[in-house]
Amino acid sequence: MKNEDFDVIIVGGGVTGAGTARDCALRGLKTLLLERNDIATGATGRNHGLLHSGARYAVADSESARECIIENSIIKRIAPHCVDKTGGLFITLPQDVDAGYGLDYQAKFIQSCRDAGIHAKAIDPAQARMIEPAVNPDIIGAVKVPDASVDPFRLCACNVQDARDHGATVLTYTSITRLLKEGDRITGVQAKGSGGVSLEFRAPVTVLAAGIWSHGLLAQVGIDIEMVASKGSLLVFGHRMSRMVINRCRKSADADILVPGEPVSILGTTSTKVPFEDCDRLRVTREEVELLLREGSALCPELAQTRIIRAYAGVRPLVSTGSSGSDGGGRGASRGIVCLDHEARDGVKGLITITGGKLTTYRLMAEIATDEVCRKLGVKRHCTTATKRLPDIVGRLSRNLKPGRPKPLREDDMVCQCERVGLADIHYAVQELGVKNLEDLRRRTRAGMGTCQGTFCTFRTADALCAELGTPHEAPRLAREYVNERWKGMMPVGWGDTLREMEFMQRVYKEGRPYSYEV
């Protein structure tokens, strides 16, 4: 595919771009989704996986709070296989009183939640400690809200799969080199595919859903939007510390959310404004780790003694409101949804940007963008993504490619013990989900994301994957690339148990692949 016409081209394979491709395809549009890396490699794959109830925004941003609670309910309904209905707690600590976030603020918080349609209920601190033993025992107030955790990789992949099932073309590892412009109209994109192949695609409408990277693409055609690149650093702990999402009941600040996800826990997040040119080389600093641990231990004291298995950072695409917050990190920028029709705003036809928002509101963002696409194309078809259930790609794994016909998984077929990933999973991921390397496989199946962080499965997974790809000689290279990438997340937390684990991992890797899997 080197030259082809479409109704709409969507740039960006995060959850917003995937959701937009799905919505466009469901409305019968000939749709192309382009992503420069693999899906969910930007902000989608670098957050804490919180399915917001909206309570976090209830006091300061009632519109975002209402959007979140509505979308929270929708995602629970259309993607139950991606959601863990943990529930959430907003806690008040003695030290919050002096900062102006005592029980009076808790009462204001509850009323703001109710005004936004969020079920928020104050509970006795003793009851909170009973239903959530990990919470700080010094709490003086607690509020239950319908927060949940969601697997962003799985959610994104399910949207991509449904888009494909309804006729969309999805090309990963295809980077945009420039937007094609004729006069005052964007007519398509020029791109570079795998192996440096030059590609050109045309469509009457192009949608930029590339997060912070939309800024650079827009600059190519002389368009400037006020965006803030806000880096957020997070920590992953070696086991599931809490039953519920735990939040501080105060204005948003560093390390005020602990999210249980799959077998681990994620603590986030910081907020630091960074230059656009740094967005592709984010690194977590030791100072950020220490800050997260210090502040996070107020939520859950056990964090201070718990093994950290990695640190990572993502970048939020925030639309500036003229203030970047007192810390310069973008906390004063809007978290709201922004859909820009560049014909109305900048006199450039055929171009739309969808940005801002949150993981929780991705579907609404996609609906807004697709409505605008249909308006431009003169298409009158309603959105169905709020009611149509997403396919369960994980439910299809280990089923011999035939949904509904389970295939027993023998222990000797297992390649990743922590996440229970087997040979059938790898076969399906390659044949149906476009997996090309171990990072791709991790995002589809969670292989290597468990508590051993790939120590015992990297080589045997690489062997099995390359056997499936028909390139067995590539296994050492894929394993090396994967290890180097995962190692970056361990470096900032290289002390204590994590340092001992790093030494052990290094020994395993240097001992001549003793745990490689024979296929």
Please report the DSSP string for 258-321 in residue order. Answer: EEEETTEEEEE---EE--GGGTTS----HHHHHHHHHHHTTT-GGGGGSPEEEEEEEEEEEEP-
Sequential pLDDT tens for the chain (519 residues): 567 799 999 999 999 999 999 999 999 999 999 999 999 999 999 999 999 999 999 999 999 999 999 999 999 999 999 999 999 999 999 999 999 999 999 999 999 999 999 999 999 999 999 999 999 999 999 999 999 999 999 999 999 999 999 999 999 999 999 999 999 999 999 999 988 899 999 999 999 999 999 999 999 999 999 888 999 999 999 899 999 999 999 998 999 999 998 889 999 899 999 999 899 889 999 999 999 999 999 999 999 999 999 999 999 988 864 433 434 455 555 568 999 999 999 999 999 999 999 999 999 999 999 999 999 999 999 999 999 999 998 765 544 444 443 444 455 578 888 888 888 889 889 988 889 999 999 999 889 888 888 888 898 899 999 999 999 999 999 998 998 888 888 899 988 888 888 888 888 887 755 444 433
Q: Which residues of 292-306 are buried (b: 16+ CB within 10 A; e: fewer)?
A: bbebbbbbbebbeeb
| pLDDT confidence of residue 201 | 97
With H, G, I as helix, E, B as strand and everything else as coil, classify residue 57: helix
| pLDDT confidence of residue 329 | 55
Per-residue CA distances from 61 to 17, 96, 203, 335 (Å):
25, 21, 36, 9
Contact criterion met (CB below 8 Å) for 163 and 18: yes
- Cα separation of 132 and 241, whole Å? 10
**DSSP secondary structure code for residue 239 in this structure:** S
What structural domains does the chain harbor?
A: 3-43+153-226+335-377 (3.50.50.60), 84-149+228-319 (3.30.9.10), 393-510 (no CATH)
Helix (H) or strand (E) holding 113: helix 103-115
| pLDDT confidence of residue 226 | 86
| pLDDT confidence of residue 321 | 46
Contact criterion met (CB below 8 Å) for 49 and 152: yes
CA-based nearest residue to 42, from 152, 119, 149: 152
Residue 342: φ, ψ to 5°: -75, -15
For residue 459, the one-letter residue type is F
| pLDDT confidence of residue 516 | 45
Question: Tokens 């986030």 correspond to what residue?
Answer: 268
Helix (H) or strand (E) holding 13: none
| pLDDT confidence of residue 34 | 97
**pTM for the structure as a whole:** 0.91
- Cα separation of 248 and 109, whole Å? 11
Q: Residue 265: CB partners within 8 Å, gap ≥ 6?
A: 236, 237, 239, 240, 241, 242, 258, 259
CA-based nearest residue to 32, from 196, 213, 191, 198: 191
Q: Are strands 351-356 and 264-268 parallel, antiparallel or unpaired?
A: unpaired
Contact criterion met (CB below 8 Å) for 41 and 177: no
Our CA angle for 456, 460, 462, nearest 5°, is 115
